[in-house]
Amino acid sequence: MTETQPARSAGTVDPRPIIEVDGITMKFTSKRSETVALDDVSLTVGEGEFVTIAGPSGCGKSTLLRIIAGLARVSAGKVSLYGKPVTGPQRDIGFAFQRSALLEWRGVRKNILLQAEMRGMDKKHAERRVNELIELTGLTGFEKALPHELSGGMQQRVALCRALLHEPRVLLMDEPFGALDALTREHMNIEMNRVWRETGTTIVLVTHSVPEAVYLGSRIVVMSPRPGRIVETLSPGLPAERDYGTTLKDPRFTEAAERVRDLLGATHTTD
């Protein structure tokens, strides 16, 4: 199950690396102390992959995403995106955060279009794209609804649409479903699998949830406690299209989930 090269998944994955992380170390220094958040981390992500990153709190998972996005500078090592060095914020990726961060005075459609306004996108193209995403994520009929009128899961769908509006080749997701109840989170996992298959977007998702990591990932990266290091990379060998009930009973799912739990240790798993 352990592997060193990007895995193909049901005809959707191109093995050419779109993200390359090479030996990065990240240190946070203050007057009193120095904290090593990440230590000698290397990772490649092929185009069309869905890579999930699991690890205990404080191991640097979110920091790794911020580095890939160009929102944080590494202390050592290098990162490239589409074969070019990452030296600053990357405008051509999508980023979904832990909180939906919707504007309370704007409806669903206008919240999604905020991305277009900030990027100066062609208005007609943006409107067509919003229509496609609203239909894709099951938000039809809620276009004018304000955030407080939506469930937590629907708010996260709006945030996902906003992140996908400019059709990024890469989507980075930092525990976007962590605050949702178990049933809503399950529905969002099903939705994310479908969105990934239908858009072909390369996705890297950080999560504390072992079932989520295995259900969504074409590969699962397991990290150690701080300083964060990659201890193992797994390929569960599941088909790209995954029925939730059937997948959770699949021996391949069970084997991968047990291995991830073993690597994390009982004190570090949350569900």
Task: Tell me the one-letter amino acid at 19.
Answer: I
Task: Tell me the one-letter amino acid at 158.
Answer: V
Structural domains of the chain, ranges and CATH numbers in brackets: 1-92+169-265 (3.40.50.300), 102-167 (no CATH)
Q: CB neighbours (10 Å) of residue 20?
A: 18
Taking Cα atoms as reference points, which of 54, 72, 70, 60 lies closest to residue 170? 70
**Sheet with 170-174, side-by-side order of all strands:** 93-96, 170-174, 202-207, 50-54, 219-223, 230-234
Distance between start and end Cα atoms, the chain: 22
**What is the predicted pLDDT for the residue at 197?**
92
**What is the predicted pLDDT for the residue at 180?**
79
pTM: 0.85
Mean of per-residue pLDDT scores for the chain: 87
pLDDT at 171 over 50: yes
Which residues, listed in sequence order, are joined to residue 206 by a DSSP beta bridge? 53, 174
Using DSSP, state whether 172 is helix, strand or coil.
strand
**What is the predicted pLDDT for the residue at 110?**
94
Q: CB neighbours (10 Å) of residue 154?
A: 20
Written as six digits, the tokens of 108 are 């669903």
Of the ranges 34-38, 100-104, 155-159, 221-225, the best mean pLDDT one: 221-225
Q: Taking a C-beta distance cutoff of 8 angstroms, is the pair 77, 25 a contact?
A: yes
pLDDT at 67 over 80: yes
